[in-house]
Amino acid sequence: MITSKQNQKFKYWMRLKQKKYRDEYKRFLIYGEHQIEKAKELNLIDEIIREDIDISKDLMKDLQQTETSFSVIAVSEFPKLNVKTNKVLILDDVQDPKNVGALIRSAAAFGFLEVYASFKTADYYNEKTIRAAKGSLFDVALKRGNITDYIKTLKLDGYKIYGADAHEKNSVSVDHEKIALVLGNEGRGLNDKTKALCNSFVNIKTENVESLNVSIAGSILMYLWSVKW
């Protein structure tokens, strides 16, 4: 059992709490039996860390990232799902990891099986993202990069690009087979470069409030597409 903070394995686990090391090692920490079982099914688990068996109680506290304490933690590889889907979700600088996690969950539920995030979008493997995704992190293909280039590639492949914007005219063609839904930053919405690449815009009519939280709006829009609007 590991009891020292100077232990090299413990130091490695602690580094995985930081995005730069998660990206370097292509590994992240997952907490609790449900999440771990999901990763096990996909053969992604490197090792399981059990309190009072593999590590002392005090050191396990150091590995926690939330107020909720877990007695079992695992080191998992990044999910490797690669799918071809006609419905894609694009996140244009969505910064709150809880929003990103909720959107991943909704994307899995409504058939948007590829999620593509800009470099400034919250990390997929942030603990808050993982908790909000409720296991759906393993059900969709997660990608990250330059979304301007990505949208251009999608358009060449026949996708129609819809930007979610509360201030633009709603224009939806329900008969188009290949679509990408783009959701913008919580404060400023879509970037100008992104908007310029959109074929059309979509929004949700509301009363008494100007707009909805991005995760709620995105979930509603994905649901509407799942039932052909």
Cα-based distances in Å from 152 to 122, 195, 203: 22, 12, 22
Q: Please indicate, yes or no, whether the overall pTM of this predicted structure exceeds 0.85.
A: yes
Tell the burial category of 18 from Cβ atoms under 10 Å away from its Cβ (0-12, 13-18, 19+).
exposed
Ordered per-residue pLDDT tens for the chain, 229 residues: 899 999 999 999 999 999 999 999 999 999 888 889 989 999 999 999 999 999 999 989 999 987 778 889 999 999 988 888 899 999 999 999 999 999 999 999 999 999 999 999 999 999 999 989 988 999 999 999 999 999 999 999 999 999 998 776 666 655 568 999 999 999 888 999 999 999 999 888 877 777 778 999 999 999 988 887 5
Kindly state the tokens that stand for 102. 């909720």
